[in-house]
Amino acid sequence: MKKILSISLGSSSRNHTAKHVFLGHECQISRQGTDGDLKKAVQNYMDMDGKVDAFGVGGTEFFLRVADRRYYFRDIKKIRNAIKISKVGDGSGVKGLLEKRAFEYLEKYLNEKENKTLKGMTALQTTATDRYTMGEVMVDAGLDVTFGDFMFALGLPIPVRTLAGVRLIAAILLPALTQVPFTWLYPLGSEQDKQPTPKWTKYYQQSQVIAGDFLQIRQFMPDDLSGKIIVTNTTTAKNVEELRKRNLHILITVTPRLEGRSFGTNVMEATLLALMDKPQSEVTQADFLELIERIPLEPNLEVLN
């Protein structure tokens, strides 16, 4: 059995374990949250190193990639340095591939089932500096996108309208922001379990498609999401019910739902690495794509209302 363990800086209330067979290999996939405790996370990586086939790095990532530049988080280097034996994925190797497939899947569904297209629809992406490839995919799909980096990351009421604007934000702000404590930048631990506090409601209301990190989307989402589509990452069964009660039309996650929840891209990357019979240093994007298509690793689309 392949063992995949995602140790997350997120809330332990979102912990989950599932077993699934991929290409004839039984995989045990576990997610363990440390409630924002970086020191505990680092210790857990050290304790389990070599005892699992691959780690997923949850609730964070080693770097942000914006266009052809990488911005490394100072705090998260402690995690990378703690892992000596097991393979490790933070999602960056597969995130863009899975996001592209999710929007292609959504476009096909809308074409065939609702006689619609994404082209021309209004959209909100919570932050593009941490999902730049998703932003590119949305623009390529013909969506009219508002990027909410200032709003969702910094609390400033400044919408960004272009990917060029996102690249400028990244070049100016990320060299400094990636050096501050990670807890300043993202809700961790119990912060993830709080009830949504509606904010930036105008931008939610004017958007037919809302995309990005689910915890960011959830943090400020309004009570009414009638007719809207959300494209996101990890959602639990409880999250799905929350969205159903808010009359969300379609929920699509870039990873499949396993035993009631979709795991993060870090988990899927770790699973793919565990299935590959080669050193991680030799793994390429082509290797990931070939395995994704062989499985196949499909997005999960649910019509909630």
Tell me: the pLDDT tens digits for 57-103?
998 999 999 999 999 999 999 999 999 999 999 999 999 999 999 99
pLDDT category of residue 189 using cuts at 50, 70 and 90: low
Domain boundaries, the chain: 2-91+263-297, 95-257
Q: How confident is the model at residue 201 (pLDDT cuts 50, 70, 90)?
A: very high
What's the pLDDT score for residue 258?
78
Q: How many helices (H) and strands (E) does the chain have?
A: 11, 15
pLDDT of 30 above 80: yes
Q: Which residues contact 91 (CB under 8 A, 6 or more apart)?
A: 56, 57, 61, 264, 265, 266, 268, 269
3-class SS string, 202-243: HHHHCCCEEECCHHHHHHHCCCCCECCEEEECCECHHHHHHH
| Mean pLDDT of the region 155-169 | 97
The residue with greater pLDDT, 8 or 188, is 8
pLDDT at 16 (0 to 100): 87
With beta carbons less than 8 A apart as the criterion, state whether 18 and 264 touch.
Answer: no
Are 4 and 51 spatial neighbours (Cβ–Cβ below 8 Å)?
A: no
Q: Is the pLDDT at 248 greater than 60, yes or no? A: yes
Residue 243: is its pLDDT beyond 80?
yes
Burial class (CB in 10 A: 0-12, 13-18, 19+), 21: exposed
pLDDT of residue 191: 63
Percent of the chain at pLDDT > 90 equals 84
pLDDT of residue 85: 97
Could you give phi then psi for residue 127, rounded to 5 degrees?
-145, 135
pLDDT value of residue 188: 63
Which numeric CATH code is attached to 95-257? 3.40.50
Q: How far is CA 134 from CA 138, 260, 301, in A?
A: 6, 25, 17
Give the span between the Cα atoms of 87 and 85, in whole angstroms.
Answer: 7
205-241 pLDDT, tens digit each? 999 999 999 999 999 999 999 999 999 998 988 999 9
Instruction: Please state whether beta strands 300-303 and 250-253 pair in parallel, antiparallel, or not at all (unpaired).
Output: antiparallel
**pLDDT(14) > 90:** no
String of b and e for 149-174 (b: at least 16 CB within 10 Å)? bbbbbeeeeebbeebebbbebbeebb
pLDDT, position 256: 86
Record the pTM. Answer: 0.91
Q: Are strands 16-22 and 25-33 parallel, antiparallel or unpaired?
A: antiparallel
The first and second tokens of residue 151, run together, are 């709003």
Please state, as a whole number, how many other Cβ atoms lie within 10 Å of the Cβ of residue 48. 17
What confidence tens digit (pLDDT) does each residue in 166-182 have? 999 999 999 999 998 87
220 CB-side CA count, 13 A: 20
**Residue-level pLDDT at 192:** 63
